[in-house]
Amino acid sequence: MLYRKYRPVKFSEVEGQEHIVQTLRGSLISGNVGHAYLFCGPRGTGKTTLARLFAKALNCEKLKPGAISGSSPEPCNLCSSCQEIGEGRSLDLIEIDAASNRGIDEIRNIKESARVASSGSRYKIFIVDEVHMLTQAAFNALLKTLEEPPPHIVFILATTEPHKLPETILSRVQRFDFKKLNSEIIKRKLTRIAKAENISIDDEAVNSIIQDAGGSLRDAESILTKLISYAGATITADLASEVLGIVPLITHEKLLSTLISKDTKKALDIIKDLHESGINLENFIAQFLRYLRKILIDLIEKSAASEQKGMDPAKIVSIIQTVTKAKNDLASSPIPQLPLELAIIEITKNETK
Residue 306 — pLDDT band, cuts 50, 70, 90?
A: very low
Q: What is the pTM of this model?
A: 0.80
Contact 21, 14 (CB under 8 A): yes
Q: With helix as H, strand as E and coil as C, how does 249-296 read?
A: HHHHHHHHHHHHCCCHHHHHHHHHHHHHCCCCHHHHHHHHHHHHHHHH
Contact 174, 38 (CB under 8 A): yes
pLDDT digits (tens, 9 = 90+) for 167-208: 999 999 999 999 999 999 999 999 999 999 999 999 989 988
pLDDT digits (tens, 9 = 90+) for 39-94: 999 999 999 999 999 999 999 999 988 878 777 899 999 999 999 999 999 999 99
Choose between 350 and 21: higher pLDDT.
21
> In 188-231, at which residue ranges do the beta strands (DSSP E only) sit?
200-201
What region, left, alpha or beta, does residue 126 occupy, with left being phi > 0 and alpha being psi -120 to 50 degrees? beta
Rg (CA), the chain: 25
The domains found in the chain, sorted by start residue, are 2-177 (3.40.50.300), 183-244 (1.10.8.60), 249-351 (1.20.272.10)
Rounded mean pLDDT of the chain?
Answer: 90
- HSE, CB side, 13 Å, CA atoms: give it for residue 315: 15
Is residue 154 helix, strand or coil? strand
Contact 55, 221 (CB under 8 A): no
* Sign of the torsion angle spanned by Cα atoms 331, 46, 203, 225: negative
Residue 353 has pLDDT above 50, yes or no: no
Question: Can you tell me the distance from the alpha carbon of 130 to that of 101, in angstroms, rounded to the nearest whole number?
Answer: 10
Other C-beta atoms closer than 10 Å to the C-beta of 72 total 13
State residue 350's pLDDT score: 63
Residue 231 — pLDDT band, cuts 50, 70, 90?
A: confident
